[in-house]
Amino acid sequence: MPIKEDLHKVLVIGSGPIIIGQAAEFDYAGTQACRALKEEGIEVVLLNSNPATIMTDANIADHVYFEPITVETVNKIIAREKPDGIIANLGGQVGLNMALALDRAGILEKTGVPLLGMPLDAIARAEDREKFKETMQEIGEPIPESDIVHSVEEAIRFAEKIGYPVIVRPAYTLGGTGGGTAYDNEELQQIVVKGLKNSPINQALIERSVAGFKEIEFEVMRDANDNCITICSMENVDPVGIHTGDSIVVAPAQTLSDEEYQMLRASSLKIIRHLKIVGGCNVQYALDPFSKKYYVIEVNPRVSRSSALASKATGYPIARVTTKLAIGYMLDEIPNAVTGKTTACFEPAIDYVVLKVPRWPFDKFVFGDRKLGTQMKATGEVMAIDRSYEAAFLKSIRSLEIGLNGLRLPVLQEMKDEELRQRLEHADDERTFIIAEALSRGFSLDEIWEITRIDKYFLKKMKNIIDFARVLEEKELDYELLREAKKIGFSDFEIAAIKGQTEEEMRKLRKKAGILPTYKLVDTCAAEFDADTPYFYSCYEEENEAWHDPNTRKILVIGAGPIRIGQGVEFDYCSVHCVWALRDAGIKAIIVNNNPETVSTDFDTSDRLYFEPLVYEDVMNIIDEEQPEGVIIQFGGQTAINLAAALSRAGVKILGTSNDNIDRAEDRERFDLMVEKLGIPRPPGKTVFSVEEAVKAAEKIGYPVLLRPSYVLGGRAMEIVYNVDELRQYMQTAVNVNREHPVLVDKYLLGKEIEVDAVCDGKQVLIPGIMQHIERAGVHSGDSMAVFPAHDLSPAIRDKVVDYTLRLARELEVKGLINIQFVEFEDELYVLEVNPRSSRTVPFISKVTGIPLVKLGTEIMLGKSLEELAYKGGLQPEPDFYAIKVPVFSFSKLEQVDITLGPEMKSTGEVLGIDRSLKTAIYKGLLEAGVEISHKGTIVATIADKDKDEAIPILHELSQLGFKLVATEGTAMALRNNGIAVETVKKIKEGSPNIVDLIRQGKVDFVVNTLTHGRMPFTDGFQIRRAAVELNVPCLTSLDTLKVVKAVITEGEKTAAMEIMSLQEYVKMTGVQS
């Protein structure tokens, strides 16, 4: 069947900001979808609030709406754009929930706009627990005994009937939010209260725990003609009990017999046929390791994290094909983009092993609860491909960028056997290394299996690695042994470490021996057909397939690796735009990355894709193989920057800003010299090498001071201290200060923070705009709300921002992008940080100004000047609208993490609010970020003494607006003294009902809590903040945020009738140059 008639314009629902459980995979899916529609000549309307994505680019979708993903917005878009259909199954859970909400609100029926692809009934049956259960029973597919509950009492009654342990799964939540495993009544009660609150329909499923069963997933597809295919099977190395997003996953499944595989495959096809799914679908199973008994755990009738993985693992473009099916094609009518000869109606055969390993944020959240369970906690993941499990495993460890090259985690070597055994029992983020340590101490496979229930097949694979490390220790390293080590997957670095040599020496030896990696093709068909997908992975085999033309111009772009806090999808946006700019310039763009969720790892993004770890050895091997004329490191975040020095030393040409100038910006001493020379003020500060030096320095500079270790990523381990006690505590607990690892002590200037992204050709500097943060300096820039254009700067300061930017960029001879952070304090402008590379705000600023920063930066690296590119230098004219970047956090998924904002970054994503009115733009942004501001109700306030003077007038105004104020004693007294009506509530230690009880009872509309500083967790304030997060009550910890929220509330009714316009319309309004 050809494409559906009368389909000229389609509305695609995006997934919104990145949070744990919903990461970059939906940018990959959405981008594929938009492109698949556009190539059919269909006009694409897109609703997505996430500015860091590629799909929200003006050239990917024709009409991009940065608006709250709500029924009202969709209704407005339908009225304005009159689309002929809506696609919702590529926008993750957000998209599916929206489809159901639109149906419930009667919008689909009223407007007559059809939902394309996935039928509503299929979504409802898969998503609603009760309907799901009925559906599975209809077709005789087994599911664990379970019951739907709406209250704690019901839950306990059922659990007592079927017996503990039981799993709690709240309905319609992302990544299992609010779920968990309960072993007794008390635990059950706790989890159910939270779960019901998290579920938008106040419903949870209580089910028999099948923990310890094998967890198997199938990615399947169906078209409207009932043709079904399996794309890939996947096996979770961790058995059922740990969320699949937190499990190591291997594709294809390794420990299934043919009969078991066929049994589950047949079951998954039966399910999608019965649900009449059109497009991709994910089915999860629990399989008894000792019988043929299995249970269906979950059906996701949409593109998902697993389907992104399956896509990258097989080369099969699931999102693209799902889109084509939605607009009317059948599977056998869609050509296979990989082979170009066969069709999309086949099952990929692979001839390698794929491993996915999660990346957790506990390097940032050191006090967070690291235990793994049914609530997903990973922010991102890496994927590795090789010809053996061992080699893929070792590659994935290198790809994680956690400072490890192998399986040994040094701190564990001190641990007692007993403790090790205990750590094995409760899985946490270090599980892999715990197992490795146990294996290397001689724990038997049986013993570890007994505790972890990880299949012995996988344990033996780990043991092979550990055993071989021992062989390397004991035997003389001849060429044969070296070859074997490389085949198993050992890095040069690790072999060298075992042999007491340097990585570079090992590399030399290996090359001398002619032991070089071979690159194999990912082709969906195990070499059965000719394919020319340019998608490669390395291995140590006989034949190299990465033939290339030595005479073409080639450039290697270094990607950004796994999504983590501080390094999100923004850098994939930048990498991809760089690749596209290179291709536009007629140069072959090669990209190396290891993140399966991204657009950059789509095989048709670049001319060549290498799926490899982003460490020196693996990147250098690609450079040796391809001989590119240069390497671009400006767009891959800190990951790529970290490679600069080593690549440069190896004689690789780094394009753009020189490595020496990068160092001048990064190295503290050299940076100080530079700004001094330029006469640009910076906050006074000193580098210290001991605790006592720090005390002295702080006294001289004056408190408060900002402390940070010399090498940081995303503000890690930074802190503001207000007195000597706090300083000593930080120096003794948070950092390990010594000669090699000094700590920086800087004056903390409590002023306005200002941020600039600019592009420079070495001479001319183009500043697309100035951003101003709502929260004052001290809150990490990634966690601040940023306003563009700056709304509150004097002309004098504005001129200084421009002047300093020009001078710094020229001084560093920047060729490409530069990001500078300033603070305005008492009418003086200070420079805080200079990053000669692409930043987190580049996608944001590029979109709202229409100036393609990455493309310009890339062209400049290729030798063009701004003038040649028809751009003028200097600050560009300001637009007639405001764009607000609002951070989004995933605190509800991370237990025991303090939500207070500070110099360490905590947000996982961001949204963009855009409007002609500043307040409306902020309101939209907050709404998109999930902060629901009520216009009346109860505010609970606990304000630190240092903040009281500032807080009282704001609270007064809120009180006058009709809010009821509730406060603990100190704050209440202060308010009363100022004549403000307030109700006093008990502190936690004063007994019940106290402030936390009040929040838990749902009697609070928002919480204002400012921090009594210090790194101490588990204080009253901490418990108040956590209670607010867990019950989804907005909690503001910065008075600056409170001020804008108050301003938005004052606007009241005006914001309710918000107008919407597409990004393209806003940008056109400004009429930017060229």
Place of tokens 């799914």: 277
Q: Considering the rule CB under 8 A, would residue 350 count as an interface residue with other proteins?
A: yes
Residue 457 vs 722, nearer CB to other proteins = 457
Among the listed residues 543, 740, 826, 827, the single contact to other proteins using CB under 8 A? 543
Q: Considering the rule CB under 8 A, would residue 388 count as an interface residue with other proteins?
A: yes
Query: From edge to edge, which strands make up the β-sheet containing 166-170?
Result: 146-149, 204-208, 166-170, 180-182
Region of 387-395, 758-766, 823-831, 906-914 interacting with other proteins (CB under 8 A): 387-395
* Contacts of the segment 644-648: beta carbons below 8 A, 24+ positions apart: 646/616, 646/620, 647/616, 647/619, 647/620, 647/623
Q: How far is the CB of 231 from other proteins (least distance, A)?
A: 11
Q: Considering the rule CB under 8 A, would residue 347 count as an interface residue with other proteins?
A: yes
Residue 230 vs 648, nearer CB to other proteins = 230
Under a CB-based contact definition with an 8 Å cutoff, are residues 1022 and 898 in contact?
yes
Q: Considering the rule CB under 8 A, would residue 418 count as an interface residue with other proteins?
A: no
CB atoms within 10 A of CB 416: 8
Q: Is 308 exposed, middle or buried (0-12, 13-18, 19+ CB in 10 A)?
A: buried
Q: How far is the CB of 759 from other proteins (least distance, A)?
A: 44
Task: Tell me the C-alpha distance between 498 and 85, whole Å.
Answer: 61
Residue 3 vs 266, nearer CB to other proteins = 266
Q: How far is the CB of 221 from other proteins (least distance, A)?
A: 11
Q: Considering the rule CB under 8 A, would residue 541 count as an interface residue with other proteins?
A: yes
Residue 360 vs 540, nearer CB to other proteins = 540
Q: Considering the rule CB under 8 A, would residue 530 count as an interface residue with other proteins?
A: yes
Q: Which of residues 459-488 bind other proteins (CB under 8 A)?
A: 460, 464
Residue 342 vs 1012, nearer CB to other proteins = 342
**Residues with Cβ < 8 Å from 877, sequence gap 6 or more?**
1070, 1072
Among the listed residues 70, 111, 254, 959, the single contact to other proteins using CB under 8 A? 254
Q: Considering the rule CB under 8 A, would residue 279 count as an interface residue with other proteins?
A: no
Region of 296-304, 366-374, 523-531, 914-922 interacting with other proteins (CB under 8 A): 523-531
Q: Considering the rule CB under 8 A, would residue 555 count as an interface residue with other proteins?
A: no
- Which run of H or E residues covers position 823? strand 815-825
Residue 252 vs 778, nearer CB to other proteins = 252
Q: How far is the CB of 530 from other proteins (least distance, A)?
A: 8
In this structure, the dihedral spanned by the alpha carbons of residues 862, 865, 867 and 870, taken in order and rounded to 10 degrees, is 20
Task: Tell me the C-alpha distance between 455 and 235, whole Å.
Answer: 11
Q: Which of residues 27-66 bind other proteins (CB under 8 A)?
A: none
Task: Tell me the C-alpha distance between 906 and 364, whole Å.
Answer: 8
Q: Considering the rule CB under 8 A, would residue 278 count as an interface residue with other proteins?
A: no
The C-alpha R_g of the chain, in whole angstroms, comes to: 28
Q: Considering the rule CB under 8 A, would residue 263 count as an interface residue with other proteins?
A: yes
Among the listed residues 480, 528, 584, 990, the single contact to other proteins using CB under 8 A? 528
Among the listed residues 261, 362, 703, 722, the single contact to other proteins using CB under 8 A? 261
Q: How far is the CB of 339 from other proteins (least distance, A)?
A: 9
Q: Per the structure block, which two tokens stand in for 571?
A: 């850098």
Region of 348-356, 421-429, 662-670, 699-707 interacting with other proteins (CB under 8 A): 348-356
Region of 123-131, 385-393, 471-479, 1011-1019 interacting with other proteins (CB under 8 A): 385-393
Residue 521 vs 745, nearer CB to other proteins = 521
Bridge partners, 912 (sequence order): 885
Q: How far is the CB of 222 from other proteins (least distance, A)?
A: 11
Q: Considering the rule CB under 8 A, would residue 346 count as an interface residue with other proteins?
A: yes
Q: How far is the CB of 227 from other proteins (least distance, A)?
A: 4
**Which spans in 453-593 are helix H?**
456-474, 479-488, 492-499, 503-512, 570-584
Q: How far is the CB of 263 from other proteins (least distance, A)?
A: 6
**For helices 668-678 and 795-811, what crossing angle results, to 10°?**
120
Task: Tell me the C-alpha distance between 448 and 238, whole Å.
Answer: 12
Q: Is 981 exposed, middle or buried (0-12, 13-18, 19+ CB in 10 A)?
A: exposed
Site string (84-123) toward other proteins, x via CB under 8 A = ----------------------------------------
**In terms of Cα–Cα distance, which of 824, 658, 874, 853 is closest to 757?**
853
Among the listed residues 41, 290, 416, 550, the single contact to other proteins using CB under 8 A? 290
Among the listed residues 96, 256, 309, 927, the single contact to other proteins using CB under 8 A? 256
Task: Tell me the C-alpha distance between 322 and 308, whole Å.
Answer: 12
Q: Is 1012 exposed, middle or buried (0-12, 13-18, 19+ CB in 10 A)?
A: middle
Among the listed residues 289, 684, 762, 1017, the single contact to other proteins using CB under 8 A? 289
3-state secondary structure of 677: helix
Residue 15 vs 621, nearer CB to other proteins = 621
Under a CB-based contact definition with an 8 Å cutoff, are residues 777 and 824 in contact?
no
Residue 455 vs 617, nearer CB to other proteins = 455
Region of 101-109, 133-141, 261-269, 399-407 interacting with other proteins (CB under 8 A): 261-269
**In terms of Cα–Cα distance, which of 829, 800, 831, 799 is closest to 818?**
831
Residue 330 vs 721, nearer CB to other proteins = 330
Q: How far is the CB of 520 from other proteins (least distance, A)?
A: 6
Q: Considering the rule CB under 8 A, would residue 535 count as an interface residue with other proteins?
A: no
Residue 62 vs 238, nearer CB to other proteins = 238
Cis peptide before 953 (omega within 30 of 0): no
Region of 85-93, 203-211, 526-534, 878-886 interacting with other proteins (CB under 8 A): 526-534
Q: Which of residues 314-343 bind other proteins (CB under 8 A)?
A: 330-332, 341-343
Q: Is 589 exposed, middle or buried (0-12, 13-18, 19+ CB in 10 A)?
A: buried
Under a CB-based contact definition with an 8 Å cutoff, are residues 453 and 212 in contact?
yes
CB atoms within 10 A of CB 185: 14
Among the listed residues 2, 112, 140, 257, the single contact to other proteins using CB under 8 A? 257
Residue 92 vs 280, nearer CB to other proteins = 280
Size of interface with other proteins, in residues (CB under 8 A): 57
Q: Considering the rule CB under 8 A, would residue 276 count as an interface residue with other proteins?
A: no
Helices and strands in the chain: count of H runs, count of E runs: 37, 38
Task: Tell me the C-alpha distance between 770 and 772, whole Å.
Answer: 7
Under a CB-based contact definition with an 8 Å cutoff, are residues 63 and 81 in contact?
yes
- Which run of H or E residues covers position 638? helix 637-649
Among the listed residues 269, 801, 940, 995, the single contact to other proteins using CB under 8 A? 269
Place of tokens 């596209």: 580
Task: Tell me the C-alpha distance between 826 and 430, whole Å.
Answer: 47
Residue 351 vs 803, nearer CB to other proteins = 351
Q: Considering the rule CB under 8 A, would residue 258 count as an interface residue with other proteins?
A: yes
Q: Considering the rule CB under 8 A, would residue 6 count as an interface residue with other proteins?
A: no
Place of tokens 């740990």: 242
Among the listed residues 164, 529, 671, 689, the single contact to other proteins using CB under 8 A? 529
Q: Which of residues 218-247 bind other proteins (CB under 8 A)?
A: 225-230
Residues that bind other proteins (CB under 8 A): 225-230, 252-259, 261-263, 265-266, 269, 289-291, 330-332, 341-343, 345-353, 387-389, 455-457, 460, 464, 518, 520, 525-530, 541-543
